[in-house]
Amino acid sequence: MAKKQYAAIDIAKYVSALLVVCIHTYPLIDISETLNTYFLQTVCRIAVPFFFMISGFFLFRKINGTQQDNEVLKKYLWRLLKLYLIWTVIYLPYTIYNYLQADTGILGIASYLRDFVLNGSYYHLWFLPALMTGTLIVYYLYKKKGIVFTLKVAFILYVIGYFLNIYAPLWESIPVVDFLFSFFTKTMTTARNGFFFAPMFVGIGLLLAKTKRLSSRLAQTALIISFALLVIEVTLYMITGMMRDLSSMYLCLIPCTYFLGNVLLISKLPYKPSYKSLREDSLLIYTVHILFAQPLLMLLPNAHIVVYFLTVALSQLFATLVVRYQNRMPLLKNLL
């Protein structure tokens, strides 16, 4: 039986990759700082939870309680690890340059080793180790305790991470608590990782893989309401001074991601073979875009919208070349 294809998912993956580029290039900041913040902290912040969710969905569709489950998981994690190691090597020149600029000595090396495990060998690559860690947590809990227990634990971890991530300015202002919070940031840097952030959205992917879809009207209405609540939530953090550049663990992202998943999975958009390239392009744009964004931001510090479109164009060109020539040059397949 032919594998079911999801046109809306492949398109959404590509759009999400473009939104991640926005997060790292601030395209609207020269027009309006407020508009840029709202766009990044609402629309763009859904992109990474979507990636976690859909990764969990496609993995757990294959997990069906047989002896093959562990092999499916191992194959999946090996692919992610291989991708992570390859892109870590690709970004080594940037890593070394940043290390030399910071002049942090042995502490810089220790920080890099910590980040390699917890936060990504380069800052946008955090998604890959987080996905591996979050998947392991969800898989183990699901196998041992079932889907309800898994989602409860994932939610508790997310709420802990939410308080650490969103209320950082508050913790830094309270005596004694500020010391404990400083210890946390020195050891783990951020709660946006595979322990606190990823399990919730991988768990939503598990939920979507093992349950029936909502009706189209219900899913669409709930998504609109959830997004409106996300905008209100972000507004409250802006008003109260809690908003920071690394703020990302919003509570309303949970229903937004779940209902978005439903909407996309029940879409009846006809599938075209060209959508497969969108799927591949999205991964390559996500992983490669910082190679172009960083030097462009240095060259054009006051033209963020130009930097954004140049970064997207160069990343897309790279992705097109990799996809086109991967059969002639098998080494390129390791990037996918």
Domain that holds residue 325: 1-41+274-336
Mean pLDDT by runs of 10 across the 336 residues of the chain is 76 97 96 95 97 97 92 96 96 90 81 88 94 98 97 98 94 91 88 95 98 95 98 96 90 98 93 86 96 96 97 97 89 84
- Both 279 and 169 in a single domain? no
Contacts (Cβ under 8 Å, ≥6 apart) of 154: 137, 138, 141, 199, 200, 202, 203
- Both 129 and 96 in a single domain? yes
pTM greater than the 0.75 cutoff: yes
The per-residue pLDDT for 2 is 45
Tokens of 236: 């409250």
d(CA 52, CA 49): 5
- Both 188 and 333 in a single domain? no
Distances (CA, A) of 148 to 54, 101, 133, 144, 173: 19, 48, 19, 11, 37
The per-residue pLDDT for 262 is 97
- Both 306 and 250 in a single domain? no
Distances (CA, A) of 165 to 92, 223, 250: 28, 24, 9
- Both 181 and 307 in a single domain? no
Residue 253 · residue 46 · CB < 8 Å: yes
Single residue among 240, 271, 302 that ends a domain in this structure? 271
- Both 190 and 309 in a single domain? no
d(CA 58, CA 261): 12
The per-residue pLDDT for 15 is 97
- How many domains does the chain divide into? 2
Report the C-alpha dihedral over residues 22, 27, 29, 35, rounded to 10 degrees: -70
The per-residue pLDDT for 327 is 84
d(CA 279, CA 322): 13
- Both 154 and 298 in a single domain? no
- Both 239 and 105 in a single domain? yes
Single residue among 271, 287, 320 that ends a domain in this structure? 271
The per-residue pLDDT for 41 is 96
